[in-house]
Amino acid sequence: MKPRAAWAIALLAAGIARTEIAGAEEPVPPTSPAQLPEHKANFAWDRTLLRASFSYEDVLKTAADPSGNVLRAKLSNGLANVLVMRAYLFEAGATSPIALAAKACNVTYDVWDEVYRIKLTSSEGTRDPAATFTPPKGSVEGVLKICAETQDLPIGDRTILRPGASYFLAVIVDLNPVSEEMLAQLQKWVQRPMGSTAIAPGNALFGAFVGLFVRSIGASDRTLQFRTQAIAP
Range 203-229 average pLDDT = 80
123 contacts 154 by C-beta, under 8 angstroms: yes
Picking from 189, 212, 176, the residue whose alpha carbon sits closest to that of residue 59 is 176
Cα–Cα distance for residue pair 171/39, rounded to 1 Å = 10
Residues 6+ apart with CB under 8 A from 144: 57, 60, 72
* pLDDT recorded at residue 148: 93
Range 156-184 average pLDDT = 90
Picking from 107, 57, 120, 56, the residue whose alpha carbon sits closest to that of residue 77 is 107
3-state secondary structure of 203: coil
Determine how β-strand 81-91 pairs with β-strand 99-110.
Answer: antiparallel
* pLDDT recorded at residue 109: 86
3-state secondary structure of 140: coil
Per-residue DSSP letters for 25-81? PPPPPPSSGGGSPEE--EEEEETTEEEEEEE-GGGG--SS-TT-HHHHHHTTSSS-E
Residues 6+ apart with CB under 8 A from 218: none
Decide which of 3 and 196 is more confident.
Answer: 196
3-state secondary structure of 177: strand
pLDDT band at 20 (very low <50, low <70, confident <90, very high): very low
Decide which of 172 and 26 is more confident.
Answer: 172
Sign of CA dihedral 86, 89, 90, 92: positive
